[in-house]
Amino acid sequence: MSQVLPAPLAAQHNNLALGDGAYWFGVVCLAASFVGIGSIAVARPGFPAWAVFPALGIMAIGGTILFLQRARSIPLLVLVVGIELLGLAWYAHTVFVYQNSQPADPRAASDTLFITLVTTAMLMFGVTAGRVLPGITSVIVAYALATTTVIVLAIMTGHEVVPDVTATGVFLVLVLVLSLLRVSRRRARALEPDFVRADSDDSAAMVRERAANRVSALVHDTVLNELAVVSTREPGPVPDNVRERIAASIAHVIAENAQGHAEVRPGDRLGGAVADAVDAARALGLAVTVEGDVAAVSELSPPVAAALGLAVRQCLENVFTHAGTDSAEVALIAGDRVLTAMVVDSGRGFHEEGIGPDRLGLRNSVRKRIEAVGGTVQVWTTEGVGTSVSMTVPSS
């Protein structure tokens, strides 16, 4: 079994889970606002709470659209931003007008609690949008839009502009946590190539053992019998039926041995430019093992498959030329609309920043080529331990 989730998929899963968690956080904030304002409306019949509830509903709908969205759609994101701003403006207007009507109670006039709840909800929906807009951009945009809307509404309604310390604190904590997560993930998964290699070595060892066991059983049933027959015969001509039996036994053993190797050759199902890259590296003398979702390569569009194949070829050439090892692994991992190819070696490793200007392979043939088809490249390398180049490309 695979010991670790590949880093690109870990980032994808983490983003998805953060988006789900943030969505429910936002929904609870909106629900809390509903309950709080509802209880005030019951206690104070003069409060036009009915105007707040549709606004909260609109904001919840916007958040739910983001929650259900799985692929980036700029028009849909713009629509959601519009829905959220409409709901927030409606809500803030109602709350500010009510607070302005309570001049006898200065605390009620400046209380930001209910504004904080909806601003926090909008920030959380910004995190949910981060599932299709990686990075912290969506959170920053959500905070800027929410804060600006609240300030504009406060000025328009003649309400005191009160800094929302809590919402700003939530924003800062979110930005810090999202930034730290990237750093922490990179650190925690820096040794991923070691686990990939251990998985690969173990699979190879087990297959070799199974193949050897099969041949051994056959040897026991055939070759040892033939040797026993030969050892008990007198010198002289060997009858035809004995010769035929010995020949059949030899053929069986040779065929079983060949089958044992053929069975463990997933690279045969690998097609296209990636297969060409593997064959080219093997022709150089590099022992390349291929594992994972080899069939997923056929789902790539022709330009993406060609770019990935050429990038894998460059990586394998780099291993052959620079890594100081004669073996490498190519692992293929199919994700949700993406395919990740990892080229792993246990060679001498390097510092990517320290590569001389004459060695353009990683920068041009790998990074730029993959990025040109909408993919990403990550490199983990430790001097003396090895290198793993992870290339994630969109699949059809």
Partner 1 sequence: MRNDPTPQQLDPLGGITARLIVIVGGVIALVIAIGMSAANASEISNPLLAVAAIVALGLTAAYFVRVSSPYRAPLRFHSHVIICLGAIGAIALEALSQWGTNTLIRDDWGPITMAIVVITLGSYRPPLELLAGAFASATLVALIAVGVSMSGSLVTPVPLTVFIVTMATPVLAAGIASAAFSASSIRSHRSWQRELDAGREVAPFTQDAPTGHLAFLHGTVIPFLDSVVTTGELGADDGARARRLAQELRVLMVLDSEQSWLTGVVDRFDDPARVAHELDSAQRASLRAIITHVQSSAAFAKGTARLRLGLDNGEAIGVLETDVVAVGNARVQLAPFIAIARRAFPESETQLTASRFTLTFRI
Under rule CB under 8 A, residue 97 binds partner 1: no
Spatial contact of 343 and 330, defined as CB atoms under 8 Å apart? yes
Q: How far is CA 208 from CA 211, 213, 250, 259, 374, in A?
A: 5, 9, 21, 12, 39
Nearer to partner 1, 28 or 76 (CB): 28
b/e map of 334-368 (b: 16 or more CB within 10 Å)? bbeebbbbbbbbbbbbbeeeeeeeeeebbeebbbe
Nearer to partner 1, 126 or 292 (CB): 292
Under rule CB under 8 A, residue 24 binds partner 1: yes
Under rule CB under 8 A, residue 166 binds partner 1: yes
Q: How many CB atoms lie within 10 A of CB 329?
A: 24
Tell me how far, at minimum, the Cβ of 81 lies from partner 1, in Å: 22
Q: How far is CA 375 from CA 131, 308, 311, 339, in A?
A: 16, 9, 11, 9
* Among candidate residues 268, 258, 276, 352, the one with its CA nearest the CA of residue 314: 276
At residue 65, what are phi and psi to the nearest 5 degrees?
-60, -45
Q: Using the rule CB under 8 A, give the single segment among 71-79, 88-96, 148-156, 245-253 that binds partner 1.
A: 245-253
At residue 172's C-alpha, the angle toward residues 171 and 175, to 5°, is 85
- What is the rounded distance in angstroms from the CA atom of residue 108 to the CA atom of residue 121? 22
Binding-site size for partner 1 (CB under 8 A) equals 115
Q: 269-328: which residues touch partner 1 (CB under 8 A)?
A: 269, 287, 289-296
Tell me how far, at minimum, the Cβ of 392 lies from partner 1, in Å: 14
Among 25, 276, 317, 363, binds partner 1 (CB under 8 A): 25
Under rule CB under 8 A, residue 396 binds partner 1: no
Under rule CB under 8 A, residue 221 binds partner 1: no
Q: Using the rule CB under 8 A, give the single segment among 16-24, 58-66, 83-91, 372-380 that binds partner 1.
A: 16-24
Among 108, 156, 161, 360, binds partner 1 (CB under 8 A): 108
Q: Using the rule CB under 8 A, give the single segment among 81-89, 145-153, 235-243, 364-372 that binds partner 1.
A: 235-243
